[in-house]
Chains A and B, each alone.
Chain A
Amino acid sequence: MLDAYERFVLMYDLTLRTARVETEMPAFREVADAMLSRIRAKQATLVLRPYSGYRGEAPWLRIKDGKKIVRDGEEYLALLFSVGDPRAANPVFEHADTAVLREIEKEEREGKAVSAHCVISLEPVKFGRHRVIVEDIRGLGKTRLRDILGSELKAVSETYGLSRTNNAGEETATYIIPDLEGYASEKIEASLKRGTLSGVWLVDTNSKAVLDEVPEAKIARREIKIDVAAASMIPKITVWGRERNFDKMRLVWNDPEGTGRPERASVDITQQDVAETSFVKQRKVTLEKPLAEAVEQLRPDMLTKMINLK
């Protein structure tokens, strides 16, 4: 259950590029203004794909609130993401003494909502790369955040006519593509050296083994867990996994300098060196006043605490 006084936040890098590579895009400060104008007009919404086999409405993502804030001379874009899920179970409260349950029924066109605060630095750390701190909320993971940001940046590009001049001197439309990457300053190796490894999984996401299978059933992925405590074994496991066509490694470990929650990372072992891969750092934020699962507006105290983690 989500704690009302404690929230975990994740540190990402937001990378921005145009659909046409080798093209420089306008400053993110200018793009942020355009995003805010869409948020204020309540246009920043993305309807997701409906659940397969479910007749009800599809879930939706929204940027409910946004504003520019300045802290210690640095400018940030604060965004409040939310997800509405019509299929999610109704919230229920139990009375401490009577044990009576009180269920809150969803009404027509309503979905269970959660929201996540997000702060994006408007000063790039390097070309097209901005620091992001985002509340870690189940239902608003990296993929969904990337989807809503991508949808908004595409809408902004189309609305304000983002274009480039090609080699023939003709103006062609383009759009901005965002991505969220692990905070580049923290490598898995550094964190593992301090911590204790609690789980290593090798995953074969391309498994196509079909021999002697029921026709309706297909193997989607093959996964094995390896019990190992020594981080020094990881390179050997990586080599062993590559030889057996495993393409991903999932790691779970406890970092004494972390938040108390296990750290997690997934690495593409066909492309990356596990030790050298950056992972998404998480930090804990403690609030004086309770914060509901979903809010209508950005909470200034939450934003201040998040920025102070930088």
Chain B
Amino acid sequence: MTKILRSPLIFLVVCYPGSVLIAWIIPALLAVGIVGSAYFLEIDVPVTGEDGILKAATSLFTVAGGFFVAALTVLITNDHAVLNSTFVGEDKPRVRSETDPLTRKRFLSLLFGYLSFASFSIVVACLVATVYSDYFLSLRESGLKSAVAYLLAYFGTFTAFQLFLLALVGLHYLTDRLHRSDGRATFKVTPPKAD
């Protein structure tokens, strides 16, 4: 049961060159930069209401989630040879703890599955935050609550940047890599086996 629920998160245990940098380090640095500058510059970000960040995030990630699900559907129904083959080159992506080679189709399915899940999670989180926003805003003068608010803002910003950068990985494949040669040279005639 838990395996089914964890499936959209499998992408987080896929090892590929630059995975830690793209999925964790750059989003973390960008989130620290944005939330930190908002704190030090004392920017008063509107949270609720028509112009509030929660409403904007809900709209944006609903659309993004829809796009990712659509991309997932296209991938599943596509029979492209390059998509169906395994990766070439050094440090081929692999799911940690799995030994079978990963096809490009599965890699992209895991990627867009995670992106869909993360988008809808942000939407749900924004809806929950909207319900509780009045309570948090009433306690904004409290130091502890303020710290919690910044922590939540940090996680929200981190996830948004992680989504954006991982979406670029997916777009690299959809816009460029899948339209190029498979990058594999093979013998037309199988050489005879020695001994």
Residues of A within 8 A of B142 (CB): none
A32 contact from B179, B185, B188, B194, Cβ within 8 A? B194
The total of Cβ contacts below 8 Å across the A-B interface reads: 71
B89 A160 Cβ-Cβ under 8 A? no
B184 A160 Cβ-Cβ under 8 A? no
Minimum CB–CB distance from A280 to chain B (whole Å) comes to 24
Minimum CB–CB distance from A101 to chain B (whole Å) comes to 45
B189 at the interface (CB under 8 A from A): yes
Residues of A within 8 A of B184 (CB): 23-24, 164
B185 A18 Cβ-Cβ under 8 A? yes
Interface members, chain B 79-122 (any A CB < 8 Å)? 88-90
B181 A160 Cβ-Cβ under 8 A? no
**Which single residue of chain A is at the shortest CB-CB distance from B188?**
A161
B191 contact from A20, A23, A30, A174, Cβ within 8 A? A30
A127 B191 Cβ-Cβ under 8 A? no
B186 at the interface (CB under 8 A from A): yes
User: What residues make up the interface of A, taking CB atoms closer than 8 Å to B?
Assistant: 18, 20, 22-26, 30-34, 36-37, 67-68, 126-127, 156, 159-167, 174
B187 A162 Cβ-Cβ under 8 A? yes
- The main secondary structure of chain B at its interface with chain A is loop
- The main secondary structure of chain A at its interface with chain B is mixed
Interface members, chain B 150-192 (any A CB < 8 Å)? 179-192
A162 contact from B88, B182, B185, Cβ within 8 A? B185
A33 B192 Cβ-Cβ under 8 A? yes
B3 at the interface (CB under 8 A from A): no
Could you write out 25 A-B pairs with CB less than 8 Å apart? A20-B185, A22-B89, A23-B183, A23-B184, A24-B88, A24-B89, A24-B185, A26-B185, A33-B191, A33-B193, A34-B191, A36-B194, A37-B191, A37-B192, A67-B195, A68-B194, A126-B90, A160-B187, A160-B190, A161-B189, A162-B188, A163-B188, A165-B181, A167-B179, A167-B181
A67, B183: Cα distance in complex, Å? 30
Residues of A within 8 A of B90 (CB): 126-127
